[in-house]
Structure 1
Amino acid sequence: MARSMLIISRQSPWSGPGSREALDIVLAGGAFELPLGLLFLDDGVFQLVPGQQAACLQQKDLGANLQALSLFGVEALYVASRSLAERGLEGQPLSLPVEPLDDAGLRALINRYDHVITL
């Protein structure tokens, strides 16, 4: 039986390679049909803001990778409610259908997975 894995993405899409690496791991796991989830936490919630113009910062746009998650069977997507609120994104439209979780929900989520990788 495949071991489940939760990837926690904590970096903004423009702060370095962490957000892209997290997506690469999730897409690779999805291609092999591993049971996995993706949690956007801290500045990682900025990846969910629609209409980003990464080219202005001379960065690659992560939007296509994010939209490909469902094509790879990755549907367990979560976001920390506190992170959204702290960054003024609470109630804003997001680019993916994510399940918002409070602190208790985050603890339960992390405990549900066999392996947790934070980037």
Structure 2
Amino acid sequence: MSATSKKILVVNRKSPYGGLRSREAIDTLLVASAYGLQVSALYLDDGVFQLIQSQQADQINSKNIARMISAFEMYDLKEVYVDASSMGKRGIQQQDFVIPVEILTTEQIKTLLHQQDQILSF
């Protein structure tokens, strides 16, 4: 199996501004996509907050994570998944997101995880 045919899933569980993990995950996604790897993203738990469009990162002197995520389209990164349960627990609606996403149930997430060759968790 060649490197370009392997499926890589980047799992994002952390809030956007609690540390560097969210930025590292985004960098990983963009670099992998730029190299033509088959990469996708899954947002769970507080990671769903990374996708919210109305972030005010400038108030904490940080780069806006949502703006970085909006670059996914330029990198042809279209497989972005979000856990429905995580959204519900946090009162988040699909229209709150900065990019189009596919919302998955727990069972669908299990299937997605089993389809991957490599899973990177941030």
Paired residue type of 1:35:
Q
TM-score (ref. length: structure 1): 0.95
Aligned to 1:87: 90
Distance 2:94 2:25 in 1: 25
What is the RMSD of the two structures over their aligned residues, measured on CA atoms?
Answer: 1.1
Q: Distance in 2 between matches of 1:101 and 1:24?
A: 24
Counterpart amino acid of residue 11 in structure 1: K
Normalized against structure 2, the TM-score is what? Answer: 0.92
Equivalent residue number for residue 31 of structure 2: 28
CA contact (8 A) 2:83 2:106 kept: yes
- What is the SS of the residue equivalent to 1:69? helix
Mind listing any 5+ residue stretches in structure 1 that lack a counterpart? none
CA distance in 1, matches of 2:61, 2:90: 23
Q: Which runs of 5+ in 2 are unaligned?
A: none
Shift of 1:93: 2.5
User: Is 1:105 aligned to residue 82 of structure 2?
Assistant: no
Q: Matched residue of 1:6: which SS?
A: strand
User: Pick from 7, 10, 15: which aligns with 1:4?
Assistant: 7
Residue 71 of structure 1: SS of its match in structure 2? helix
